[in-house]
Structure 1
């Protein structure tokens, strides 16, 4: 089952801000996009905005189907 699609939109950032987010993302082993999403969720939570937890993403290889041969 595929994860629901995410909303894409252009975002213009100051280069210094992008570099700081990039460093934070690298230290947390995340992409810049994932780090921005985490930071936004944290900021909204501090303001008391409740969001549904994100759907967990499946990781790893998909199971082999019976028709696969190797």
Structure 2
């Protein structure tokens, strides 16, 4: 994967604050929000390069589903009408 480009961006403080709040609302960093918005604008304008890579996923990876075992307790009531059936 090619190294990501770094740029210096000067913003009005009020614009930066609004952007940071918006990013927080969508659980993104301010930088990720800027890239998301730029990509959306490029796509809407029909200018998104065909060879552009997807936005890298950040954060904790999704958990793999745990294999079910025969020893695991079940949420179903016992077939004999035992203590789980009382109540």
Q: Does the alignment reach a TM-score above 0.5?
A: yes
CA apart distance, 1:6: 1.1
Unaligned runs of 5+ in 1: 62-70
Structure 2, unmatched stretches of 5+, are 62-87
| Mapping of residues 3-18 of structure 1, within 5 Å | 4-18=2-16
Between structures 1 and 2, the one with greater helix share: 1
What is the alpha-carbon distance in structure 1 between the residues aligned to residue 59 and residue 6 of structure 2?
22
Greater Rg over alpha carbons, structure: 2
| Equivalenced residues, count | 59
Conserved 8 A contact 2:39-2:48: no
Normalised to the residue count of structure 2, the TM-score between the two structures is 0.56
Distance 1:53 1:5, change over 3 A: closer
CA-to-aligned-CA distance 1:9-37 (integer Å, 9 cap, x gap) = 11100011101110110011000000000
Aligned alpha-carbon RMSD (Å): 2.2
Higher relative contact order (CA 8 A, sep 6+): 1
Q: Which runs of 4+ in 1 moved over 3 A?
A: 55-61
Answer yes or no: is 1:42 the counterpart of 2:40. yes
Q: Counterparts of 1:25 and 1:18 in 2: how far apart (Å)?
A: 10
- TM-score w.r.t. structure 1 length? 0.68
